[in-house]
Structure 1
Amino acid sequence: MRAADIMTTSVISASPDMSVRQAAGTMVFAGISGMPVIDEDGRLLGIVTEGDLMHRAEIGTGVRHRAWWLELVASTRELAGQYVKEHARKVRDVMSTDVTTVTEMCPVADIAELLERRRIKRVPVTRDGKVVGVVSRANLIRALVTMAPEMPAAAENGDHAIRADVLAAMEGQPWALAPENVIVESGTVHLWGPVVSAEEGNAVRVAAENVPGVNEVVTHFGFPAAVPPLG
């Protein structure tokens, strides 16, 4: 699955000369937390988000007082930039220009990693420098609802095939169970043996639950006894 498969193509955008108040109203009424800023030719100039509008003089959320030591270490450039963010009337002065973009062919997995790494909620999709869509976290969640099967498909070769698939699902993982600790009967997977932690037990269980044909997973785990403190 790629960006083109899940992106929103009816993109709500701002112009650089849009007023800050109008931009805020557009986001509120559209139910979005950010939008790309596009010029007359459809080329991406930046992005304006709720974060860019958080500190505003009109509503008294500007940075009015700084600790004295922050005033000392802050450069004139930083202080001037903060003043512009708080008082500017046009989107061009408050938007973020360091914008990450993706192409229509970008895999969805790469987009999810990008959003998490950059701690952003959306990314514009561009073609030849022009915005053709936006992929947001909401788009990824909708893709999950649409594409993920609710229940695994039935296995064709019965319990033997299910057991082999469960072992294959755990193969190479440091928390994998030994083959003799996996027993399958009538589509029910029984998992035996000691595990180091509840997290490892959950990982084993989830690996088995995702195997096609599994009806139920029953765990028979033992956890190591806690070592009493010395003294």
Structure 2
Amino acid sequence: MTTPLLVQDAMHPRAVTVGAHEPLSAAVVAMQELGVKRLPVVQAGRVIGIVTDGEVRRALPALSDGLSPWEFTDHVGRVRVRDVMRAPVHTVTPQTPLRAALRTLLDRRVGGLPVVQEETGALMGMLTLTDVLRAEARAPRLQWGAAAQHMTREVVTVTPDTPASEAAAILNVTRLHVLPVVQGGQLTGVLHARDLRDAVDRAAATHGPTLMADQFFLQSVTVRDLMRPPSGYLTESVPMHDALTRMLEADVHGLPVITQDGELLGVVTISDVIRTLLGESVGAGSVNA
């Protein structure tokens, strides 16, 4: 019998922190240099909050606001981490079962949790959803079965000429994270939600945030402009464990599943993997990854 994994088996044992009274620019520099999306906020040795890239973006003025370099620097310099951090913060301990931590991540709709010492509350590291999935991918899970057993079958497809804004709307409704691109009955490409987000973020960086951002920034863009080659797929007999490994290697949240003859059967998403880990059925509802 396999021993259940604990948070200590997956966590990052070291975490860079930021102080509540530090300027927000210090958090930005740390995130940029380390390539992370969140930083625990520590005061007197205890975790009192967390700041994420989302809070940072919302707090900084857009380049389109017409501020001079002097005004922009003045504005940014006045914002402190305490002004934007999320508090209180949900935490786990190294001895927390990994499946329980995964459930906390999903229920709280957060991407990472500070790991603290149970007795003192001192920070010991960080745990992210990717950490959980990587730890599970390293562990032998023969009972997972094949991708075809756990995939989402009600899949929506698009064509290369579909407007990117329409594709973004489909992904927002279905939460599938990936859209197979089909033309003439053949898989011709794969569109990932992260590629759409990156395109919107690049446009928003110079324009600033706006309502209905997907429709505004993707007006003249088609799926063909953003899709990846059709090589990113799974065959129906691929083990679910290998499907997770492939997604982690490609840094994507979903892959199409096809037959040996190239017929599209469905998609396997990170949500499907999480349901498999938690022993839930495919129809158990959507999970935000």
* TM-score (structure 1 length as normaliser): 0.52
CA contact (8 A) 1:27 1:33 kept: yes
* Match in the other structure for 1:105: 95
Residue 49 (structure 2) pairs with residue 59 (structure 1): no
Secondary structure at the aligned position of 1:58 is classed as: coil
Task: Give ranges in structure 2 of 5+ residues lacking alignment.
Answer: 66-74, 146-152, 155-235, 241-289
Dislocated runs of 4+, deviation >4 Å: 85-88
**Structure 1 match to 2:183:** none
What is the identity percentage for the equivalent residue pairs of Structure 1 and Structure 2?
Answer: 25
1:91 matches 2:95: no
Q: Which residue of 2 aligns with 1:145?
A: 137
Deviation at 1:141, TM superposition (A): 2.0
Partner-residue secondary structure (3-state), 1:97: coil
Contact 1:46 1:99 in 2 (8 A): yes
Q: Which has the larger radius of gyration?
A: 1
Deviation at 1:22, TM superposition (A): 1.6
**What is the CA deviation profile of residues 111-160 of structure 1, one whole-angstrom value per residue up to 9, with x for unaligned ones?**
111111111000011112111111111211220221135xx4xxxxxxxx
> Which residue in 1 is equivalent to 2:274?
none
Offset at 1:87? 8.4
Task: Give the alignment's Cα RMSD to 1 decimal.
Answer: 3.4
Q: Is the 1:3–1:108 Cα contact (8 Å) retained in structure 2?
A: yes
Tell me: CA distance 1:88–1:120, structure 2 relative to 1, closer, same or farther (3 Å): farther
| In 2: Cα distance, 1:61 partner to 1:16 partner | 28
Does 2:134 match 1:131? no
> What CA deviation, in whole Å up to 9, does each residue of 1:195-216 have, x standing for no partner?
xxx68xxxxx99xx79xxxxxx
Distance in structure 2 (CA, Å) of the matches to 1:38 and 1:98: 12
Aligned residues: 139
Alignment partner, residue 115 of structure 1: 105
CA distance in 1, matches of 2:106, 2:100: 10
Quote the Cα distance in structure 2 between the aligned partners of 1:21 and 1:61: 19
1:1-231 pair list within 5 angstroms: 1-39=5-43, 41-60=44-63, 88-127=78-117, 128-149=120-141, 152=142
Structure 1, unaligned runs of 5 or more: 63-84, 153-164, 170-197, 200-204, 211-231
Q: Is the 8 A contact 2:48 2:88 kept in 1?
A: no
Aligned with 2:83: secondary structure? helix
CA shift, 1:86, in A, is: 8.6
1:19–1:91 Cα contact (<8 Å) kept: yes
Offset of residue 108 of structure 1: 0.6
Q: Does the CA-based 8 Å contact 1:125-1:132 persist in structure 2?
A: yes
- TM-score (structure 2 length as normaliser): 0.42
Deviation string for 1:173-208 (max 9, x for gaps)? xxxxxxxxxxxxxxxxxxxxxxxxx68xxxxx99xx
